[in-house]
Amino acid sequence: MPDLGTTLLTLARNAIAGHFGLPQSPVADCPELHDMGATFVTLTQHGNLRGCIGSLEAWRPLARDVQENALAAAFRDPRFNALRADELPVTRVEVSLLTPAEPMSFTSEADALAQLRPEVDGVIFIAGQRRSTFLPQVWEQLPEPAVFMAHLKQKAGLPAGYWGPDVRLERYTVKKWKEAAR
């Protein structure tokens, strides 16, 4: 039986290579590829972020979700210029498969922070119409829960110290696969 992680990484890289008209690798068909799935595709170059786009909810088949998020990470992440064909050989692909998000119950920001599980939880921050998320991998750069949360609020366009009655938090976990260093 083919390895799901290897298959997802190949699908992601193939989607980007196909955009450039480059050769693509064969992909094994795993039954899971046809199930609904939510993924994030992260691109890095020499350890630096080069693009990251994903789905928080499973609403399309896993294979298609990975392909579309790979293309979005490469060509539509507003933080970066579109990936160029000559960058692809030095671009490392990572795919994260998300579990369904679960709402958190808390009485205060301190209570919410105490419940977070560093390096385990991906967190969705919601306040009014604003929403942001960090994958569990972000804990590697922001290991302190209060700092992690402050950056998550800023990503949502709010001040780092913001907290109000409209704040909702959800958490999820991921299975992740990353290509070998390039």
Q: Are 128 and 71 found together in one domain?
A: no
Residue 13 located in a structural domain: yes
**Domain stop point among 50, 74, 98:** 98
Per-residue model confidence (pLDDT) at position 139: 97
Compute the CA torsion angle 105, 107, 109, 111 (nearest 10 deg). Answer: -80
Q: Are 125 and 138 found together in one domain?
A: yes
Q: Summarize pLDDT for 31-90 with one digit per residue, the tens.
A: 999 999 999 999 999 999 999 999 999 999 999 999 999 999 999 999 999 999 999 999
pLDDT band at 145 (very low <50, low <70, confident <90, very high): very high
**Domain stop point among 98, 133, 151:** 98
Per-residue model confidence (pLDDT) at position 28: 86
Q: What are phi and psi of 137, to 5 degrees?
A: -60, -25
Q: Is the pLDDT of residue 2 over 70?
A: no
Q: Are 69 and 128 found together in one domain?
A: no
Q: Is the pLDDT of residue 1 over 90?
A: no
Find the CATH number of the domain harbouring 114.
Answer: 3.30.1490.150
Strand 122-127: give its sheet, edge to edge: 102-103, 167-172, 122-127, 130-134
**Domain stop point among 98, 125, 151:** 98
Q: Which two three-digit tokens encode residue 95?
A: 């795919």
User: Is the C-alpha dihedral spanning 123, 130, 104, 53 positive or negative?
Assistant: negative
Q: Summarize pLDDT for 76-99 with one digit per residue, the tens.
A: 999 999 999 999 999 999 999 999
Q: Which two three-digit tokens encode residue 161?
A: 């110290």
Q: Work out how many domains the chain is built from and give that number.
A: 2
Which residue range forms the structural domain that includes residue 79?
A: 4-98
**Encoded amino acid at 52, one letter:** C
Per-residue model confidence (pLDDT) at position 29: 87
181 CB neighbour count, 10 Å cutoff: 8
Residue 180 located in a structural domain: no
Mean pLDDT of 137-166: 97
Per-residue model confidence (pLDDT) at position 130: 97
Per-residue model confidence (pLDDT) at position 47: 92
Residue 29 located in a structural domain: yes
Residue 181 located in a structural domain: no
